[in-house]
Amino acid sequence: MLERKYSKILIYFFLSIVVGLRAQLGPPPWQYDESQFIYLSSGVKYIILEQGKGPLPKLGEILKIHYIGMLSNGKVFDNSFERGTPLQFKLGAAEVIPGWEEVFKYLPIGSKAVIHVPPEFGYGDEGVPPTIPPKSTLIFFIEVLSKQMPFQPYTHDTKKRIKKESGLEYAIIEQGNGTAITPSSKVSLHYNARLSNGVILGNTFDKGEPLVVIMGKNQLFKGWEEGLSYLKQGDKATLIIPPHLGPDVGTNIPKEESIIIDLEILSVEPYEQFKPYKYEHLPFQESPSGVPFYLVEKGNGPLPKIGEFVKMHYHGVIRNKNGERFFDSTFERGKPATLLLGNSEALRAWDEILPLVPKGSKIVMTLTPEKISQEKNLPPIIGTDSILIFYIYLLE
């Protein structure tokens, strides 16, 4: 009897150690036992390494996750842990690969899991060259952080709208008590923009990454910038922007449509202005596809490689028949961008040019209307009748 009692104590002791280790998984990628895979009928398979205590996600909800994406040979092609920015997506809205849509409904909030996705539920026969070869099985290490309901457009009494002389209308949904927005403020905000016919133009609420804009830089179209000028930190508001105050010619937005923007003003701060590099006197070089760039200052670091994460600051300027205007700047936001080269997650031109210059370099690159039309990730505000100039500092 005594031996049995001590045997049970030892068993409980070792079980507690094992459970404790499973509950304290270190940073990914994690070790796992392939015999523990759960197979779905699609061929997607998964192991929950650490069971979350939250509920299961439902279709239509917004999930926030961290992940590492890896090929079957162990090569990492994406890593949100390293970027420090989780991914948010709407489950069931085809915003992610089909394999993720299949498996996330089985992962409670708080879970850590390994997922294997066959090619037909990943990137198929084509892949995403050169980062993901054709017919690749993908391995993901996942941490499911949280979930939320998708953003619902604000509602308000139309009688309480404020109409300005320009034709802009706005309504305060919830009054803030922070700093007022001035012509030189740096503003962080969430927005949901849609046409009067209901077509969605953009939504940062569900993506989790606020928009940061610099007032007075023509970063936004007229009606949007005017609307912000009446608001302050903490405000929630709806702007109703008539067609004549909408984006410039060159966007895909119908001229006759009003734009409705729901906003939440997160912060209002002064900003430090970026000083553009002098480059006109320098000889230009070209990327393989013919995008010109100027090496303003050569860094001492190694050349970045395709498939490698790089950190960079950039300042973007639009030049067209109406003059030159600023549209985005990580310098002025104060937060560098991190991207995976060759993953087509930013600009094709960046994937071509950045591997040609050492880390620590400062460069200027220009995109003609022809090259802009070949880019998939530029916002509509750029237009196809413009030249785009980027001032870039490739961090070491």
Of 46, 89, 104, 140, the catalytic one is 140
- Which among 46, 62, 65, 67 is annotated as catalytic? 67
Q: Which is catalytic among the residues 48, 97, 306, 387?
A: 97
Residue-wise burial string across 46-74, b where 16 or more C-beta atoms lie within 10 A, e elsewhere: bbbbeebeeeebeeebbbbbbbbbbbeee
Residue 231 CA, chain-centre distance (Å), reads: 26
Closest CA to 45 of 97, 127, 118: 118
Q: Which is nearest to 240 in space by CA: 153, 125, 300, 328?
A: 153
Q: Are 153 and 262 in contact (CB under 8 A)?
A: yes
Catalytic (active site) residue 6 = no
For 345, counting Cβ atoms within 10 Å of its Cβ (0-12 exposed, 13-18 middle, 19+ buried), the class is middle
Query: Is there a catalytic annotation at residue 78?
Result: yes
Q: Is 97 a catalytic residue?
A: yes
In the residue annotation, 262 being an active-site residue is answered as no
Let me know if 277 is a catalytic residue.
no
Give 319's strand partners: 324, 387
Other residues' Cβ atoms within 10 Å of the Cβ of residue 337: 17
**77, 106, 154, 274: which one is catalytic?**
77
Catalytic residue (choose from 46, 62, 65, 78): 78
Q: Which positions are catalytic?
A: 67, 77-78, 97, 123, 140
